[in-house]
Amino acid sequence: MSANAEITGVPSPEDAARAEKFKEEANEYFKNQDYNKAIELYTKAIELNNSVAVYYGNRSFAYLKTECFGYALTDASRAIELDRNYVKGYYRRAAAYMSLGKFKLALKDFDTVTKARPNDKDAKAKYSECSKIVKKLAFEKAISVEENKKNIADSINLDAMAIEDEYTGPKLEDGKVTLKFMQDLIEWYRNQNKLHRKYAYKILLDVKAWFMAQPSLVDIVIPDNSKFTICGDIHGQYYDLLNVFELNGLPSETNPYLFNGDFVDRGSFSVECIFTLFGFKLLYPNHFFMSRGNHESATMNQMYGFDGEVKAKYTAQMAELFTEVYNWLPLAHCLNNRVLVMHGGLFSRDDVTLQEIREINRNRQPPDDGLMCELLWSDPQPQLGRAPSKRGVGVQFGPDVTQKFLLLNGLDYIVRSHEVKNDGYEVAHDGKCITVFSAPNYCDTMGNRGAFITLNGKDMKPNFTSYVAVPHPNVKPMAYANSLLNFIC
């Protein structure tokens, strides 16, 4: 903005014209799905002329696309402040609230939209859908207060589930997962078949028992000269998961893996991903590890597709059982007392110890703040110190925060996931904070590579393997997601 504009708050005609050009250019990048470049150009437009609601509204939409829900919320609110009649501002803010699971606030904005556009069928449909969610949540809350909710796991009767003669798929042997079962399952799923519900339920019950016995922070010993692999987000991209196994070998006692959260949602083969991963957990319980991600939660699963996919392929009861299992997933893993791995990141205070993480009561839905929330939601930033999260949950932490945490706990570096990176990984904070993301061409739109990390127990030095997406059957991402999110992904 020119000096005159800064003094008066009104841009010069030249600045206003340049801002419009930046907006038009940004719109083109947005259409081509280059959301980060679009955000950069919308920001330039705002710097030249900060009084146009559309600039903030458009940037809010781009932030929604990049999952920066906190920033999207702020921009949408600013757009509404500038123009109370800017209906798209309410739409954007409602989408941000929905993405954060704040359904009552989203409903209020959808209500505003329907009043402003009484004949808009889309607005009416979104209001109606959001209203249903709010009522359903209120009903569930009332029920859980009235009665002490029983475990779904306790109500499953496996004996009552018959295996039909025509079922020719993988079979557990004496109720146990074997290597043959896993090899058969991989091929069965590759050909888009469904595992029998009796075996699916058995896997869930058994894996729940395993996770219940683990602490919130799991210690892993990697012997000298032994390889260990860390994978980031998979997000229901089953055929890319198989590609990881083809590039790096199937899990085994000599080829251990840690999958670092967000196994499901968005990608429409989440059921196949999670049963494959849980199967390997049961086959190699001491050599296959899984951390909880922010998408292993009921709210995220209801919005981003997993809940809908389980109901479509199995039952609502199984969807509830998954929620129970996810509540017991460990929150972090410590490798050789040197490297801490968690899905999101570090904390809003400097004195957090490994012992404190170990003692977290994790058998619940992720809270909106505190250590458990931050482990699942936080992100690194290049600047020193901390900042409010771009996602609206967790915190952003700088290199100094990372350094203090490592010093306090005697660690070398941290590994986290949670963020799309062009190469599938990023090394930040002077090599002390590594991001790994294993879902290439995320949502079939981002064009990113995926990656995994291999290291050996002797030097614990991270090595990166980066790869592109492989073809998958013609089922689009978000096929099972809540219809309210159709305009986000």
Task: Give me the pLDDT at residue 126, please.
Answer: 87
How large is the average pLDDT for residues 104-129? 91
- pLDDT higher for 3 or 205? 205
Q: Is pLDDT of 74 > 60? A: yes
Whether residue 345 sits in one domain with residue 238 = yes
Q: Is residue 210 part of a domain?
A: yes
**pLDDT tens across 164-199, in order?**
999 999 999 999 999 999 999 999 999 999 999 999
Task: Give me the pLDDT at residue 2, please.
Answer: 44
**pLDDT tens across 331-385, in order?**
999 999 999 999 999 999 999 999 999 999 999 999 999 999 999 999 999 999 9
Task: Give me the pLDDT at residue 10, please.
Answer: 86
**pLDDT tens across 150-169, in order?**
789 999 999 999 999 999 99
Last residue of a domain, one of 116, 144, 172: 144
Q: Is pLDDT of 149 > 90? A: no
Whether residue 339 sits in one domain with residue 288 = yes
**pLDDT tens across 410-444, in order?**
999 999 999 999 999 999 999 999 999 999 999 99
Tokens found for residue 23: 């907006």
Whether residue 308 sits in one domain with residue 232 = yes
Last residue of a domain, one of 119, 144, 169: 144
**pLDDT tens across 225-279, in order?**
999 999 999 999 999 999 999 999 999 999 999 999 999 999 999 999 999 999 9
**pLDDT tens across 455-481, in order?**
999 999 999 999 999 999 999 999 998
How large is the average pLDDT for residues 394-403? 98
Domain that holds residue 190: 158-485
Say whether 295 is catalytic.
yes
Task: Give me the pLDDT at residue 139, please.
Answer: 79
Whether residue 44 sits in one domain with residue 163 = no
3-state secondary structure the chain: CCHHHHHHCCCCHHHHHHHHHHHHHHHHHHHCCCHHHHHHHHHHHHHHCCCCHHHHHHHHHHHHHCCCHHHHHHHHHHHHHHCCCCHHHHHHHHHHHHHCCCHHHHHHHHHHHHHHCCCCHHHHHHHHHHHHHHHHHHHHHHHHHHCCCCCCHHHCCHHHCCCCCCCCCCCCECCECCHHHHHHHHHHHHCCCCCCHHHHHHHHHHHHHHHHCCCCEEEECCCCCCEEEEECECCCCHHHHHHHHHHHCCCECCECEEECCCCCCCCCCHHHHHHHHHHHHHHCCCCEEECCCCCCCHHHHHHHCHHHHHHHHCCHHHHHHHHHHHCCCCCEEEECCCEEEECCCCCCCCCCCHHHHHCCCCCCCCCCCCHHHHHHHCEECCCCCEEECCCCCCEEECHHHHHHHHHHHCCCEEEECCCCCCCCEEEECCCCEEEEECCCCHHHCCCCCEEEEEEECCCCCCEEEEECCCCCCCCCCCCCCCHHHCCCC
Mean pLDDT of all residues belonging to the chain: 94
Q: Is residue 152 part of a domain?
A: no
Q: Is residue 209 part of a domain?
A: yes
Task: Give me the pLDDT at residue 7, please.
Answer: 41
pTM assigned to the model: 0.93
Q: Is residue 97 part of a domain?
A: yes
Domain count of the fold of the chain: 2
Task: Give me the pLDDT at residue 129, please.
Answer: 87
Catalytic position from the list 196, 287, 295, 472:
295
Whether residue 240 sits in one domain with residue 91 = no
Last residue of a domain, one of 79, 112, 144: 144
Q: Is residue 382 part of a domain?
A: yes
Q: Is residue 331 part of a domain?
A: yes
Q: Is pLDDT of 147 > 80? A: no
Whether residue 464 sits in one domain with residue 329 = yes
Whether residue 338 sits in one domain with residue 312 = yes
Whether residue 198 sits in one domain with residue 89 = no
Q: Is the dihedral of CA 64, 236, 479, 201 positive or negative?
A: negative
Whether residue 249 sits in one domain with residue 103 = no
Q: Is residue 194 part of a domain?
A: yes
Task: Give me the pLDDT at residue 148, please.
Answer: 52
Task: Give me the pLDDT at residue 3, please.
Answer: 42
Whether residue 317 sits in one domain with residue 169 = yes
Query: The domain that contains 224 carries what CATH number?
Result: 3.60.21.10
Whether residue 205 sits in one domain with residue 97 = no
Whether residue 140 sits in one domain with residue 162 = no
Q: Is residue 103 part of a domain?
A: yes
Query: The domain that contains 123 carries what CATH number?
Result: 1.25.40.10
142 pLDDT band, cuts 50/70/90, is confident
